[in-house]
Amino acid sequence: MHKLPTEILLLIFRSLRLSDLSRASRCCRFFHALATPELFGTLQIRMKSHTSDRQIIKLLSTFMQPSYLHRLLQRIELVVGDDRLWTRENSLFLGISLRHILDRSGVPEGIRSYRWSAAYPFTGVVFPNLQRLDCGAVGPQSIEWVRWHLNHCASLAEVQLSFTLSCNLTQSRASALLNRANFSGLKRLSLTFINVALFDPKKAHALTALDLRYCPGAESFCQRLAVALPPDLRELRILAYAESGRPDNFTAWLRSARNVQHVALCIGGLSEIIPFEQVRGHRSTLRTLVLDPRRNLLDPSSVLKYRPADLREIVEQCTSLRTLGLPLDLRDYQFQFRYTRSHQIS
């Protein structure tokens, strides 16, 4: 393996599990120099029911030692499982530990990715060179911390934010948060539980992927999106309520889009299905298509179903399709095409 190019060795090391990567780093000095940045580049804490606190303390103590390892950190990840009881004491403990690790000269500037699924950011340390921000439960305690990164991190390429109800973000406050953000280089944006009625899509003109879930004002935003569409938008996923009762505003942007690859629309408040006409213009590039029209967004049984003929049309025309989600009504389908059980031999 020593004869392999350095680039190939790095690809191999990045595909290894941490235990195997640790063994590789102890093979020789050359492997140690290549593997150590990969081994200590991510501080990943997964809080699940079977994860012992002793394991977490051991991991944190490794980075808290007075060594050069904390300078190698580039990614911070905390994932809290649904089966894990999370308390304020957990937040305080991790906050103290992480602040001790991160609040050192040169460390915040090296962090490129920050993923946090719990309700607190745990530390007030900011990361000016952040490229990926993923906060799964933005609350009143952390919203100003999030705002700072949205406004000051020019390298942000991916943002995923889910807001708690306790944030109490009004339409005007949500508009100020999003429209004043520095989204000039943003490629992927995912928002949950925030009002986007006044969000200007021109502020994120470089978007390639957009995901809106339970965002009030999504229909108004889609109307503006049809007029000011980011030229490279290839992926759109929306889970929202149609205030007008019609699906047209959620598909109008497809008329001006080019080479769309992924479309997923779960729209509530409808009295008719989401038409396929606008999607047909992207049949040669479309890889994912999910159309889920509902009368009640929160009630899957209120779904409006398509005919088998609609399914046949989509499959025949979308030659690159890999994933398809479509509710079908088979109750009145032609008898000769229905499945019948074979005659049982007694």
Partner residues linked to 265 by β-bridges: 238, 291
Assess contact for 279 and 250: CB atoms under 8 A: no
Residues 6+ apart with CB under 8 A from 338: 330
Provide CATH code, domain 43-332: 3.80.10
> pLDDT 10s digit of each residue in the chain, 346 long?
667 788 887 788 777 777 777 787 778 888 877 777 777 787 877 776 655 566 677 777 777 776 777 778 888 888 776 666 666 677 777 778 888 888 888 889 999 999 987 766 567 789 999 999 999 889 888 899 999 999 999 999 999 999 988 888 899 999 999 999 999 999 999 999 999 999 999 999 999 999 999 999 999 999 999 999 999 999 999 999 999 999 999 999 999 999 999 999 999 999 999 999 889 899 999 999 999 999 999 999 999 999 999 999 999 999 999 999 999 988 765 555 555 555 555 4
Do domains 1-39 and 43-332 share one topology? The answer is no
Structure tokens at 90: 């957990």
Q: Give CATH for domain 1-39.
A: 1.20.1280
Residue linked to tokens 């000051």: 152
Sorted by where each begins, the domain ranges of the chain are 1-39, 43-332
Q: Are strands 132-138 and 113-116 parallel, antiparallel or unpaired?
A: parallel
pLDDT at 124: 79
Q: Enter the tokens of residue 47.
A: 């809080």
Structure tokens at 268: 């509530």
Looking at residue 289, what is its pLDDT? Answer: 97
pLDDT of residue 10: 78
What does each C-alpha distance from 13 to 29, 38, 41 come to in angstroms? 15, 8, 12
Question: Which amino acid does the sequence have at 278?
Answer: Q
Give the pLDDT confidence score for residue 122 in this predicted structure.
63
Question: Which pLDDT belongs to residue 345?
Answer: 52
Q: How far apart are CA 143 and CA 161, in angstroms?
A: 10
Q: Which is nearest to 169 in space by CA: 146, 188, 185? A: 146
Helix (H, G, I), strand (E, B) or coil at 56: helix
**pLDDT score for 174:** 96
Q: What angle do CA 250, 291, 270 make, to 5 degrees?
A: 60
Running DSSP on this structure, what letter comes out for residue 273? Answer: P
The three-state secondary structure class of 108 is helix
Query: Do the Cβ atoms of 264 and 290 come closer than 8 Å?
Result: yes
**pTM of the complete model:** 0.84
Quote the pLDDT of residue 82: 65
